[in-house]
Amino acid sequence: SVLLRFDQLRHIVTADLSEWRSALKSVAGVYLITDTSCGKLYVGSAYGSEGIWGRWATYATTLHGHNKEIKELLKEKGEQHSAAFQFSILEICDVMATQDEVFARETHWKNSLCSRQFGYNSN
């Protein structure tokens, strides 16, 4: 039941809230970023020892998570546009799942939500 505005995520990461860090670090999975200003979606995945925590912490510190599409969006609309992002978890995977296993689930969600055709996924 995780549904966070960008400012909430940034607070959780910068304050290093232990209950959030522990919960998000213990799972891998597929997440969704919704641009609430227009409804466009970005489906991403997180795997490895830092799980979803590590991936989302990168968004909190960089605003774009090093994603080409989101970087370009923020360049066009300004960094303040990150306030329109909402983060949620689509599917939890075991933190020991392989990168290929998590990518397969990410691909499923990209196909299901048409985030390549109508969202911010280009791959």
What number of other Cβ atoms are within 10 A of residue 107's Cβ?
A: 16
Give the pTM: 0.96
pLDDT for the residue 40: 98
Under the banding of pLDDT at 50, 70 and 90, the label for residue 27 is very high
User: What is the per-residue pLDDT for 99?
Assistant: 95
Question: Angle at which helices 51-62 and 6-14 pack, to 10 degrees?
Answer: 110
Q: Which of 69, 23, 73, 14 is nearest to 46 (CA)?
A: 23
Q: How many CB atoms lie within 10 A of CB 6?
A: 19
Asked if 43 contacts 110 with a C-beta cutoff of 8 angstroms, the reply is yes
